[in-house]
Structures are given as structure tokens and as C-alpha cells.
Amino acid sequence: MNKKLLVELNDMQRKAVEQINGEILILAGAGTGKTKTITYRIANMIENKGISPYSILALTFTNKASNEMKERIASLIGDEARKCTVSTFHSFGLRLLRIYYNYIGYNENLTVYDTDDQKRVIEELDKRYNLLNFINTDVGTLLGIFSNFKELELVGSIEAMNEYLGFNPKKQYILDFFNHYERFLKENNAIDFSDILYLTKKLLENKEILEKVQERYKYLMVDEYQDTNQIQFKIIEMIAEKYKNICVVGDDNQSIYKFRGADIGNILSFTSTYPNATTIKLEQNYRSTKMIIDTSNRVIEKNKAKTDKKLWTANEKGELIKVLQCTNNYNEGKRVTDEIKKLIKKGFEYKDITILYRTNAQSRIFEDNFINENMPYKIYGGLSFYDRAEIKDMICFLKLFYNTNDDIALIRVLNTPKRRIGDVSMDKLKAFASKHEISLFEALKFANEVQGLTNIAREEMETFYYLIKKFQRKMENGTEMAELLEHFLKEIYYYEFMQKDIKYKENYDDRCDNIEEFKNFISEMERKSSDDEDKLGALLEEISLKKTSRDEEENLNAIKLMTIHNSKGLEFPVVFLVGMVKDIFPSFRCETEEDLEEERRVCYVGLTRAKKELFLSFYSKRIMYNKEKPAFPSMFLNEIPNTNMQIIKEQYTKIDDRNLD
């Protein structure tokens, strides 16, 4: 690289690139060329300032971001770029641990245990000490507690760990198990994922090692600084303490990962932590139209916890923000589909269009419409609605109500939730059914005749048999399917199972939302069916068609569907931000002003993904279980000026031009 390349940068980007020494906060708004600025800065340090690439450490959050940064620097200055350290926090920490393993009491061949490894450790320890029965919790919950001990730096303080556990009567058993777990890891020369940053910080508390790291990495850069947690903050602070050549890049308006431990206070208080810091604001947006930028600014300005910056752009004014005013949540899917058809006629391709939603459950209505219209689509960052584990469970429950001879459905849900029927017992049941040429379900009835079963397994099998029979009678007596399913889920304690099971408890709230949406779908289908129609049979047929009609091959020219969180860092020519309804967005789970401001930042991220056209949609009624409930527009819609919006009503509605109160 040479100085001529600096002409590609605007004034503030150039200032960020050329200021090398000292403490620097780069506030980089959405679409302002953040990655370009970071890569040019590193390239300039090496090529023009004569700084050794070995002395540069750049920390990111994802391997994708790290690899992209390496490639872009290499394209500017060649192989010298490979000599600087560009990595994720965890990769960097693990590198240090492998170098200084003896300082933390480990041997050279250090092993990192993943979640499956951790589960096997817990199972092995339970065989030895039989503590899980006393703790009365599942493995996933226990591992979560162990992880928090480390990430909150409570390890080593019995008092702190006791305080964290609160009034838990099983706390002593938990602490005993944790001690056994830690001892096991040490004996096996292993660490878990939570150990990496915890032990890295412990390692840096050694003055000798800290000095070596500080001398090696005299220049520190941190990308997406608004997403750092407290332990990452402390690691950064320790490394930068000697030379104070620290440059952090981020946007407080895009801090949306509080649920992962991110602390927006780290970026908001940077100038307090480093009083001599220089603040450089990247405010020129290259992505979006003036209309989209102004709209985004009007929303985010309502937040109190933010830095003083404001996006602007030299791009075209662009079209008004189109707001689709829909009668109900089902009609929202049709309206969006119709607008996409118009966009295709205007010359856009399917791949130009992205649907963004607050929760994964919202994808179902849009998927159904795209399937019906034979429009290509792809779910990003998640499974298709009907492929999600909890939805597969629901379908299999309904299949058993409909046809008890469906062995595949039975195999999936017989132990969901867990019924103490192990693999060996299942094999014996299958053998019995095969021998007598009956279905697995029928075999459950004769569990007492199956050789080699435990009394518990026999009891559980018979209980499940009569449970299904009970709900079949309810169905025959005219109980609505959605109501039937809900009663069944409560009777088998399905929600409690999801809270405890390690595979289901992640994204528990989203999974509950998905089940609610599925019940809405059932009610919708039941409403459309005639009285003399086989309603459950028709429903299962409809689901089957929806699941099989989806193009399983990668179709690049397809509409994208994803949550707003999954869209961060991306951009799209056309964005539909859907479900702009109270209690969905912002979420009903908002309890504090802090929560609301995070939701507004999520909204801001969604708005700023759009380059050319932006659509927002809301509805005035929400249909749930064939019943209409009033729905109200999101407060975020009211924060957008009238002059920025074009309200597109349904022709047959009697809603006022702007009924957003």
C-alpha cells in the first residue's frame, strides 16, 4: 500500500487510519465503512509507519470477521499481513494458554472439551459420586451454573459462589460437584470453553507473562467493541495498560447482545476509562438512501444511553418508507407476498429481498405464502418452521392421535419428554412387535409380556399407551385440535421438559413462541375445514405438502428470511421489517427502560440493513385459536415522522390513514 490509496477514504476515515498512537475510540455507524477503515489502518501501520506486524493484535468476535480482515489486509500489502495477529478473543486466549500452560498447572497437550465432552464428564462423575439425584437438576442447567462461576470470576471464592446460588437448598451438592468436575478436567489436562477467557485473564495476572504479552503486542485493536463483556474488557485493559496504544471500533447503537453478556457500558464509558482518548466519528453512511438514514436516526435518537453521533449520507433521497397496514397477522403474509411480486416486476430479483423479524416463530406465515405462490426462499440462521425440533414433536403427537400405527412418530416422541425407557428397552419392544406382527403402539399395551423389561419401563410404556388413547377419545368427542394439543402438552409436562433438556432449553422462549404459532396454524386450518371433513387428516396432509414442496437445493436467487439479530453486519437492497406490533416488537418481555432501549437498538439494526427500499408492516388484529384480539402498532412506528412514511392500506379496510396510536 502507498499513500495514494488514502485518497479512497473520506476525511474521518483518513483521520482514523493515520492516527496510530494513543487511546482511540472510533464510533463507526452502520454502513460507514468500518471494516475498510480497520484494514486500511493496519495496512498503513505496517506499510507506511514502519510498525512491525508482529506487534499488532486485532481482536474480533467471529472467525468469519477475522478471516475477512486478514484477506483484505493481504490484498493491500501482501504477505506481510499474515504476520500480524488477527483472531477472535477465544482463539487468542487459547494461543496464550498453549504457550504458558505450565503457569496454570497444565501439560503441553492441552485439550478443549466441547458440550458433548462436558456431558460425558458429568455422567462419569455421577456414576462415581451419585450427586445429580441430590441436586435434582438436569446436566445442561448444571453446566450453565459451572460456566457462570467462571465467566463471572467467582471461582476460588466459596462466599461468592454461595451468594450466586442464593437460597438454593442444594448449593452444597452443586459446589461439591463443581469441585469434582474441575478436578476431573485438571486430571485429564482439559479445559472447557468457559475456561479459555477465565484462565487467560488469570494468566495475565502474572506480571512476567503480562509484560511479555505487552511487549509483543504494543498496538491493540478491538472490533465490535460494543459487544464485549466484562472479562473481555479486563483482558483488553490489561494488555493495553503499558503502551496505551489501544484503538476500539464499535457502535453503541448496534449493541444488541445483552442476553449473551455484552455490556454496552464498555463503549459508553471508554473516554472515562481513558481520559486522554481521541474520539473519531464515522458518520457518513454509504449504504442507504437519505430517507432510510433519516428514519433510522429519528428512532434511535429516543434512546438516552448513547454517544453523540448522527448518520448522514450523500446518497439519493430515495423512496418513502412503505408501511403495510394489515387487518390481521395472516393477512400480513399475503400483503408482503403481493409487494414482493410488484418488486419483481420492477426489476428486482428474489435474492435482493430480505424478510426480517424479531423472533423465529414469525417466519411460518411468510414461508406458507411463499410455498403457495411457488416463490423461492431460504431461512438463514435457523431452521425452516416445520423443521424445528419442537414443531416436529407437535406434528408427531398429532400423527399418533390420527394413526397409532405410525411407528416413526412413536419412536420420536415416546421418550419426549424422558420416560425412563432406554435404548435397550426400545430394542426389546421393537423385537416383540416384529415377532407378533403388530405396531409399536400396540406392543405398548402388552409391555408386561415383553421379556427383559424393567418394571419402570413397563409402567411407562403402558402409561403412554393409555394416554394416547385418552386423547384420541377427546378428539372424537369434538375437542378442538389446538386445545387438545395444549392439554396434552400440559399433561406430559412438555414445557418443563424444554426448560431442563440441554437440547431444548437454549432459546426456550423462542420455542414456546413457535408452539403458540403452530397452534394458531392448527386453529386456522380447522376454521377453513368443513364440518364433515376429516380435519386432522387434512391438517397433516397440508403440513406434509408444505414440508416436501420446499426446494431443498441451494437456490441463490431466493428471498432471505432471518431474525434481526442474524442480519447484523449484513445489507440488502430491499428489507421488509415485519411484525411491528406491540408485545412482539418491542417484546412483551421488556420490563425496564434498559430493556426497551435494547429493543430500540434491535429496531435500528433492522432499519439500517436496507439499501434502496424499506417496508414496515403491522396489523390491527391478531388471530389466535380462531379468536381475534386487538393488536396495536409498535411504539417504534410512532417514532417515525409522518413525512417519511407512505401508509399502504388494504382497499377494503376502514382504518384511518394513520392509526398508529
Residues labelled as active-site residues: 34-35, 223-224, 254, 609
Phi and psi at residue 628, in whole multiples of 5°?
Answer: -90, 130
Angle between helices 115-129 and 139-151 (to 10 degrees): 110
Q: Give the number of other CB atoms < 10 A from CB of residue 519.
A: 20
Phi-psi map region of 198: left, alpha, beta (phi>0 left; psi -120 to 50 alpha): alpha
Q: Is the peptide bond before 417 cis (omega within 30 degrees of 0)?
A: yes
Distance CA 39, CA 70 (A): 8
| Residue corresponding to grid cell 476500539 | 248
User: From the CA atom positions of the chain, what is the Rg in Å?
Assistant: 28
- Cell triple for residue 503? 437440547
The alpha carbon of residue 195 and the mean position of all alpha carbons in its chain are separated, in whole angstroms, by 22
Candidates 309, 257, 254; CA nearest to 284 is 309
Distance CA 209, CA 190 (A): 21
Cβ partners under 8 Å of residue 135, min gap 6: 142, 170, 173, 174, 177
Coil vs helix vs strand at 20 = coil
- Is 461 in contact with 447 (CB distance < 8 Å)? yes
Cβ partners under 8 Å of residue 216, min gap 6: 54, 55
Q: Give the number of other CB atoms < 10 A from CB of residue 609.
A: 26
Cβ partners under 8 Å of residue 117, min gap 6: 190, 192
Candidates 496, 499, 426; CA nearest to 464 is 426
Q: Which amino acid is at 263?
A: D
Cα 295-591-633 angle, rounded to 5 deg: 40
Candidates 99, 131, 258, 210; CA nearest to 600 is 258
The alpha carbon of residue 444 and the mean position of all alpha carbons in its chain are separated, in whole angstroms, by 40
Phi and psi at residue 621, in whole multiples of 5°?
Answer: -140, 145
- Cell triple for residue 539? 391438517
Distance CA 559, CA 397 (A): 31
Q: What share of the chain is helix, strand, coil (3-state, %, to 5)?
A: 55, 15, 30
